[in-house]
Each structure stands twice: as structure tokens, then as C-alpha cells.
């Protein structure tokens, strides 16, 4: 009989308020888990109802989730506390902010090893962090790569996700995909026609849920210590703006459109970061992935795992609509 992963621990879920258009219309407004990898993975896992889910959160976080989910407050500085919290878990999924001190991730990996956790999904999601060209300019890729030998040295198996940037998040923040929905302004990088891969939170959640619902024998045969390549859309900024036109009923004449050279934007973002601008890093990172050298288009160079995982085809305009609803709701992903 095939064995399956049953007990899943997730780190990095937090609260924030996001109102959809329907919630605003019906006043059905609730505090809910943040729209990130952890939240959407939980949503998809609950649909299958085959896993016991435990969320690890920092002490005093006041996290509010479904009653079926076990919430454990932990001390990320205490290996003993983390090891105790992870005892009996089959898999640990880490979803931390990129600015989380590196030792927190190391502590989680060490504690998981001591607790006997077999599988790890490290904090490695996004652009192709195996692309050495990008890694030379954006340090996150090298950081992600460093997680893998650390996990393997402790006898555990890892899976990571190359999914491009999150579509709704990136379209909703002006300094990411260069499109300011609220102000109707768009900055096209170079000519705005460079294609890259991007994924919705929903697709990412489905990917993780599908992956860890496989029989362990199949899971390890196909994906042991691998980075999966998935994507919702392969598209350009021009196509993003066209989608916004369809959703909003606008046309180019209703927007202020300008152009910036990607290399110059990357350099400016790095300088902004040095000057203390918190958006500088994202500005530089997105510009670098949009270089017209194929850096962001891993689908064309490496293919996708979408079909093998049975992932659905998605509607671009529906995803764009979600981003518009987020912006209109006053969404702030950086709120405490």
C-alpha cells in the first residue's frame, strides 16, 4: 500500500485585511490569512481534506484561522522550542518574508532535522533561482540555492517552486510590473514586449497541494530535491495592460504610458535601496528579470511541470480582476 504525507506544518502565515468587491458590497468583511503561499496552500489542502495542518507562528501574532487548523506559537530563536513544535510532522513548508533574518530559516531546518521531519519546502519561490545571470545581480537566488545542501546534509528531501513573480501581487504594486492601477499610469520596461512567466497565488497553492498529495514513492521518484517549474501565464507588460483594459473598460488613451530602459531601472533600483527606499530592491529585481535576454521566460528554455501535475489553465482577465479588487480595497501587504 502506498504511503502518503499526512501531517503538514507551515511557517509564515499571518493576518491582513483584504476585501474583495463582493465583500465590500455585502459588508461580509473578515480578518483572514494573508494572500500568500501559505494561505493559498492551506485553502487547496483543505479541499482534499487529507492532511492535518499545523501553522507555526511567532508568539503574540494573534493569528486567526479555521478551527480545523492547529496553531502553535513558537520562538524562532529557540531550537528546542521549534523541535518540539515540529515533532511528528511529515513535511515543513516555509513561507517567510524575503527580509526575514537568515538564521530563522536555518533554525527551522535544524529543528526539522532534529524532529525527524522527512520533507522540506524551503523559502524558495519566484524567478528562476538556478539562472546564474540573474543570481549575479539579485542575491535572493544564491540564498535560495544555499538552502538545498543544508537540507540534504540533514538527511531530508526538498522541493522548491520556480513560479515567476506572483501575478496579483506584482500587478497590484506599481514598482513591480510598472503598472499603477489606481493612478492609471504604466511604465513599460524597454518596449514593454518582453515576455516572462508569472503565476497566481491560486495556481501556486494548487501546485503545492497536488505535489504533497502524491504517493510518497511517486513524489520522490519524480520530484526529489527538484525545483518545479510552473506558470499561470507567459506574457508581456503590454498584454497585462491589455487585460486591464478589458477588465476596466479603458484604452491606452486613458492611461499615462512611459518607457524605461531595464538596465537603467535596475541600477536606479539598487541605488534607491542603498538610499533607504524600501521599494528599491523590488524595483531592481523586477527590472533584472525583465531584461530582454530571456531571463524571466523559463518556460521557453526549460519547459513546465504544469501538465504533469494536472494544473488547470487559467483565465488572465479573472486574475487581473482580482488584482484590481485588491487595489480598490486599499490592500496593503506590508501592514502589520
Spans of all domains in the chain: 7-328
Helices 262-274 and 280-289: angle between axes, nearest 10 degrees: 160
- Identify whether the C-beta of residue 58 lies closer than 8 Å to the C-beta of residue 76: yes
How far, in Å, are 39, 250, 255, 256 from residue 245 at the CA level?
A: 29, 5, 10, 13
Q: What is the predicted pLDDT for the residue at 270?
A: 96
Q: What is the predicted pLDDT for the residue at 235?
A: 98
Q: Name the CATH superfamily housing domain 7-328.
A: NAD(P)-binding Rossmann-like Domain (3.40.50.720)
Nearest to 113, CA basis, from 53, 80, 155: 155
In the block, residue with C-alpha cell 507562528:
57
What are the average pLDDT values for consecutive 10-residue runs of the chain, which has 336 residues? 86 59 34 61 90 93 87 96 98 89 95 98 94 90 89 97 96 97 98 98 96 96 98 98 98 98 97 94 96 97 97 98 95 71
Q: Give the predicted TM-score (pTM) of the model.
A: 0.90
Burial-class residue 106 by CB neighbours within 10 Å (0-12, 13-18, 19+): middle
- Identify whether the C-beta of residue 64 lies closer than 8 Å to the C-beta of residue 31: yes
Cell of 26: 455585502
Q: What is the predicted pLDDT for the residue at 16?
A: 42
Q: What is the predicted pLDDT for the residue at 333?
A: 78
Q: Cα(first)–Cα(last) distance of the chain, in Å?
A: 46
Report d(CA 251, CA 20) in Å as an integer. 24
Half-sphere exposure of 142 (CA within 13 A, CB side): 8
Report d(CA 155, CA 302) in Å as an integer. 28
Amino acid at each position: 500500500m502506498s504511503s502518503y504525507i499526512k501531517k503538514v506544518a507551515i511557517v509564515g502565515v499571518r493576518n491582513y485585511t483584504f476585501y474583495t468587491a463582493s465583500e465590500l458590497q455585502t459588508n461580509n468583511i473578515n480578518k483572514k490569512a494573508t494572500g500568500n503561499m501559505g494561505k493559498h496552500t492551506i485553502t487547496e489542502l483543505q479541499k482534499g481534506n487529507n492532511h492535518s495542518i499545523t501553522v507555526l507562528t511567532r508568539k503574540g501574532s494573534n493569528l486567526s484561522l479555521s478551527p480545523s487548523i492547529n496553531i502553535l506559537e513558537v520562538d524562532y530563536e529557540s531550537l528546542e522550542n521549534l523541535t518540539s513544535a515540529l515533532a511528528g510532522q511529515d513535511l515543513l513548508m516555509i513561507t517567510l518574508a524575503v527580509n526575514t533574518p537568515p538564521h530563522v530559516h536555518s533554525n527551522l531546518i535544524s529543528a526539522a532535522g532534529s524532529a525527524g521531519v522527512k520533507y522540506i519546502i524551503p523559502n524558495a519561490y519566484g524567478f528562476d533561482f538556478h539562472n546564474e545571470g540573474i543570481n549575479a545581480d539579485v542575491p535572493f537566488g544564491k540564498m535560495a540555492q544555499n538552502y538545498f545542501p543544508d537540507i540534504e546534509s540533514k538527511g531530508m528531501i526538498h522541493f522548491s517552486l520556480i513560479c515567476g513573480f506572483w501575478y496579483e501581487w506584482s500587478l497590484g504594486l506599481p514598482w513591480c510590473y510598472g503598472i499603477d492601477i489606481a493612478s492609471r499610469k504604466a511604465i513599460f520596461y524597454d518596449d514593454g514586449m518582453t515576455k516572462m512567466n508569472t503565476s497566481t497565488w491560486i495556481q501556486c497553492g494548487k501546485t503545492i497541494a497536488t505535489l504533497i498529495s502524491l504517493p510518497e514513492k511517486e513524489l520522490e521518484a519524480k520530484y526529489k530535491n527538484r525545483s518545479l517549474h510552473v506558470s499561470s501565464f507567459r506574457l508581456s507588460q503590454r498584454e497585462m495592460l491589455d487585460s486591464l483594459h478589458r477588465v476596466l473598460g479603458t484604452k491606452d488613451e486613458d492611461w499615462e504610458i512611459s518607457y524605461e530602459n531595464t538596465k537603467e531601472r535596475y541600477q536606479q533600483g539598487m541605488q534607491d535601496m542603498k538610499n533607504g527606499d524600501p521599494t528599491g530592491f523590488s524595483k531592481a529585481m523586477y527590472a533584472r528579470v525583465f531584461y530582454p535576454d530571456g531571463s524571466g521566460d523559463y518556460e521557453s528554455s526549460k519547459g513546465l511541470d504544469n501538465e504533469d501535475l494536472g494544473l488547470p489553465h487559467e483565465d488572465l482577465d479573472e486574475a487581473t480582476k482580482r488584482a484590481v479588487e485588491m487595489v480598490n480595497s486599499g490592500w496593503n501587504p506590508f501592514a502589520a
